[in-house]
Chains A and B, each alone.
Chain A
């Protein structure tokens, strides 16, 4: 029991770690501070704090329209990608069919593919299909591009599922259909929520794919980007601060759910003789 703390053993490492964290988080801190700064952007350190920028923000109709658009797209994308991802995960977990290995890779491809490629190819497809660019195309783009996220999360949930439970359900006289709704799906609840939250946040701040598929109605990130071309305004800092707060809240919720699902899985393992 010698009192050598990690910092004493490696002071350089500690300094390095501090610098990395500062590099990551300092800009966010500055952004949050500026959103309360009466002098707006510039003038550091802030001398007078104010909520004016937030008041201005809440009165900004077009900006809130874009927030609403983003929420619509994100909710739709969650529904679409969860539905399709669930089917893909079920196929990967329990069906065996020719070309399964290829299917697995294809489903996961959008995770690795640069957004610009996904966006461009979706645009080509939309043009080919003769569709008008609108929020609908953005929703379809997000929904399909994020299937891979849903598939991986749900597949992990299925792998943890105790198959004896489904057998018990069939054994008790439930049809496979009933078993799926009453046993399989409730057991995937945590995976579905976790995947949904992740897809929601990814869709909310998606730019690359959105850029190609956007019609006349802006989503929030693109509205912010458009305004930035006219210079940074304190109002942008205010909305960014709000986004940051909501994101942190969602991440905490997601993390808690993740821990619970992992925790219960570990518990089940321990209970097994």
Chain B
């Protein structure tokens, strides 16, 4: 438990990671919910754990909060071993999925709970509670019981309650999933602004990839208890490492084919690559494909003919399902262009066909 036993403590300066998850594993009975997770979170970062339900993201959050014990590996925070501490000794606070506000306490006492539990000076408490409530724009509801508040208001109280102890790390367990779509968009903006304002590291759990893209500095994509990829939203979208990532983040065309003699062949499409021979999978985003209007192509581009199977109008853009022959379908996103039919010529840049692991 002693911090002196940490060999890395000396090397951890302000630039080092705030939280280090080292080969953490969690097993419930015979089921491995988390397998060998290693993840660093930088101070001040907004990191999102993204994954389908059952991928282990909430379990990882609960390991960090201290509600579950890892069955393998270690968790360190700011040079201190975290996973051996009970939850009430960790400078980590949580916004729970259903907020878990205390129903028998009013909003003010809910928010003050953390200060009282930590033995804050009595004279400090009212001022800090008011400040926290103002921060989430809930000052006028200080006397209300949680049951009388709307979902969005409860959400704000839960945030104020979790932030009042000024944690080093705030864990948010799908905090927006209970809100309706409009409110969710609004709260996303406020959450991001709040994080910049308080400068606290946020670890956010969601199954909604759009939400993850909108909020995060980095996204950690979990799949069946392992980390599929950890990267910034732009990078994870532009350079997905695996077919799973490419499909989970945004829409994509997965081209399954083969490389032979530095030529990739996927159905009707052929283009030069510099990889070794063998089967290969490529991810090609629908918006990376465009109409070939003048019939010419650059040397770095691939040209193909395809016929329109389906057209879905989406305001600013259109999503086309194109048949390239040999049963190969490609989705293409074009700027709104009016109804289309028949055969067309398309091009895409070779560099946009990203080779991914299957």
Contacts and interface: CB of A to CB of B under 8 A. Distances in A.
Interface of A: 162, 164-165, 167-176, 178, 182-183, 186-187, 189, 264, 267-268, 271-273
Interface string B86-123: 11110011101110111110000000011001100000
Given A170-B86, A172-B117, A173-B165, A164 B96 contact: yes
A265 B210 CA distance: 34
A262 to B, nearest CB: 15
Interface residues of B, number: 28
Given A164-B98, A186-B104, A267-B147, A171 B65 contact: yes
Interface string B64-90: 011100000000000000000011110
Contact of A167 (B87, B103, B162): B87
Contacts of A172: 88, 93, 113-114, 117-118, 161-162, 165
B87 A170 contact: yes
Contact of A171 (B87, B97, B103, B177): B87
B178 interface: yes
Residue of B65, B89, B98 contacting most chain A CB atoms (<10 Å): B98
Interface pairs A-B: 7 shortest CB-CB: A172-B114, A174-B117, A164-B100, A168-B100, A170-B87, A173-B117, A173-B118
Contacts of A173: 88-89, 114, 117-118, 165
A170 B162 CA distance: 12
Contacts of A267: 147
A272 B98 contact: yes
A167 B100 contact: yes
Interface of B: 65-67, 86-89, 92-94, 96-98, 100-104, 113-114, 117-118, 147, 161-162, 165, 177-178
A178 B117 contact: yes
A174 B98 CA distance: 20
Contact of A273 (B114, B147, B177): B177
Given A171-B87, A174-B117, A187 B104 contact: yes
Contacts of B114: 172-173
A126 to B, nearest CB: 41
B87 A162 contact: no
Nearest to B90: A171
Contacts of A189: 104
Instruction: Give the residue among B87, B97, B101, B118 with the most A Cβ atoms within 10 A.
Output: B87
A142 B147 CA distance: 39
27 contacts: A164-B96, A164-B97, A165-B100, A165-B103, A167-B100, A168-B100, A170-B86, A170-B87, A171-B67, A171-B93, A171-B162, A172-B113, A172-B118, A172-B162, A173-B89, A173-B114, A173-B117, A174-B88, A174-B117, A175-B88, A176-B88, A183-B102, A186-B104, A187-B103, A264-B103, A273-B98, A273-B178
Report which residue of A168, A172, A268 has the largest number of chain B beta carbons within 10 angstroms of its beta carbon: A172
Nearest to A185: B104
Given A174-B117, A273-B177, A168 B96 contact: yes
A135 to B, nearest CB: 36
B178 to A, nearest CB: 5
A187 B93 CA distance: 22
B76 to A, nearest CB: 19
B117 A169 contact: yes
Contacts of B67: 167, 170-171
Given A174-B113, A178-B117, A183-B102, A168 B94 contact: yes
A268 B102 CA distance: 12
A171 B93 CA distance: 6
A272 B98 CA distance: 7
Contacts of A174: 88, 113, 117
Contacts of B96: 164, 167-168
Contacts of B102: 165, 168-169, 183
Contacts of A167: 65, 67, 87, 94, 96, 100
A116 B67 CA distance: 47
A14 to B, nearest CB: 42
Given A267-B147, A273-B177, A273-B178, A171 B104 contact: no
A268 to B, nearest CB: 8
Given A165-B102, A173-B114, A176-B88, 13 more contacts: A165-B103, A167-B65, A168-B96, A170-B66, A172-B93, A172-B113, A172-B114, A172-B118, A172-B162, A174-B88, A183-B102, A189-B104, A273-B98
B133 to A, nearest CB: 16
A252 B102 CA distance: 28
A235 B271 CA distance: 108
A194 B162 CA distance: 34
A268 B101 CA distance: 12
Nearest to B161: A172
B355 to A, nearest CB: 40
Nearest to B92: A171
A12 B356 CA distance: 79
Contacts of B118: 172-173
A173 B87 CA distance: 7
A183 B113 CA distance: 10
A272 B96 CA distance: 12
Contacts of A264: 103
B249 to A, nearest CB: 25
B322 to A, nearest CB: 39
A165 B101 CA distance: 7
